Homo-oligomer: A and B are copies of this chain.
């Protein structure tokens, strides 16, 4: 039982002791060669942005004769970084195709004015040159992550890219696990492990592969939309997904937009959106030389939907890695809001619970504090207002044991606090809020708020 009156006494006494964030490196492990999609070579290298000597530049090339279909979702922040603006323009000029992606970490190239734009274009042109084509338009997308407001050491970056030209002796582009891993490592900033996943899936007996990597641990609360969308922009989360499926550019964008809403736009570490958030997907079609096999929403909605759902679950996997590596995180929490009138209502409540400082500190303190969950739930304006007498809140253990109801139809349950403590003391937890209004559901993934978070961000100049 919690004390009826914690009050000032709690405020002045030390009842929880700081504990370090648990090690997270076990979320990274070797992946067998055969799981990676065909037709991509890549590398990660140290070009000199990071003073520590760590990898800070990734180059990813599609080697198929035709350019790959390309789609992207970009931050909706009003202060879009130069690489975001440049990538949007490349996609527009190329009719949503691309052959390459270049990524640097350690410097976000954000709020860097005209110089920043020139630097981002220079990275694109240098990578175009690796392709050995003489295309009229640029075929490279660019992403940056790191400190805001500082310009890139562009000569070092360009030298790094040029070290991968076909006649260079320092060329390290490859397609084995090590090459993919090096690229993933070059994405990292405050991440504690590289985030790399691959999977095989089949549609009508044909086998496809998909691999992807992402980065991010703080300033994570993305809200990304397709290129040139009306409205405002935000976000630093970077990610890319490469597949050997053949997908029409329009359908690839439509699938990615759907997938991003249900993955990267449904995670929060600290509720702060960055100026650089970008997710790119390339589909080079190397698994199928048959043009009829191109996945297209209008031509064959059924196969499109299978692909879209594969992309969505894969994107959710990648997105969840970011939450697991959330700065200072000791918990991985799934927030499920069910029974809403609309998906947007459910998503809005799930987002509010996932960003509540009081909910997140209670999770860190392993306190089954449903009052804070309820207060957060009730604070969101909705299309159909909440009826408090229909709302239920439960903890769902991840070990398959029965759910623990905390509030049922607006009435508090007599909670077995020992059982609640047991459920909340493990790393993974699901909070379920049932609104009892409609049939729409949304999921969100978040972590707790710890001493470590405050320490990490008390003086990291992001």
Contacts and interface: CB of A to CB of B under 8 A. Distances in A.
A18 B452 CA distance: 11
Interface stretch (A117-125, A142-150, A237-245, A310-318): A142-150
Interface in A73-120: 76-79, 106-107, 110-113
A374 interface: yes
A232 B378 contact: yes
Contact of A457 (B148, B192, B358): B358
B274 A110 contact: no
Contact of A7 (B16, B50, B233, B459): B50
Contacts of A5: 49-52, 106, 146-147
B273 A111 contact: no
B372 A462 contact: yes
Nearest to A459: B365
Contacts of A449: 357, 454
Contact of A458 (B3, B4, B364): B364
Interface stretch (A130-138, A290-298, A333-341, A380-388): A380-388
Interface stretch (A28-36, A58-66, A301-309, A407-415): A407-415
A362 interface: yes
A15 interface: yes
B270 A357 contact: yes
A343 interface: no
A367 interface: yes
Given A371-B461, A407-B111, A457-B361, A54 B385 contact: no
A140 interface: no
Number of this chain's copies in the complex = 2
Contact-residue bracket for chain A: 35 or more
A289 interface: no
Which of A219, A272, A453 gathers the greatest number of chain B CB atoms within 10 Å? Answer: A272
Given A357-B457, A361-B454, A374 B275 contact: yes
Nearest to A386: B78
A39 to B, nearest CB: 32
Interface in A436-462: 449-451, 453-462
Which of A11, A50, A76, A367 gathers the greatest number of chain B CB atoms within 10 Å? Answer: A11
Contacts of A18: 451
A15 B107 CA distance: 21
Given A358-B457, A361-B458, A388-B78, A106 B375 contact: no
Contact of A232 (B192, B327, B380, B457): B380
Interface string A368-401: 0111101111111110011010010000000000
Contact of A382 (B11, B232, B458): B232
A357 to B, nearest CB: 4
A231 interface: yes
A168 interface: no
Nearest to A406: B149
A190 to B, nearest CB: 5
A2 interface: yes
A111 B16 contact: no
A209 interface: no
Contacts of A462: 6, 358, 369, 371-372
B457 A379 contact: no
A128 interface: no
A188 interface: yes
Contacts of A388: 78-79, 111
A407 B148 CA distance: 12
Contacts of A249: none
Given A356-B272, A462-B369, A77 B378 contact: yes
**3 interchain residue pairs of minimum CB distance:** A365-B458, A148-B371, A2-B461
17 contacts: A3-B461, A7-B52, A7-B190, A15-B458, A16-B455, A78-B388, A79-B378, A111-B371, A111-B412, A112-B412, A148-B375, A234-B378, A235-B379, A270-B357, A271-B357, A272-B356, A367-B458
Given A7-B189, A111-B374, A371-B462, 8 more contacts: A4-B147, A11-B327, A15-B458, A76-B379, A79-B386, A272-B358, A357-B357, A361-B454
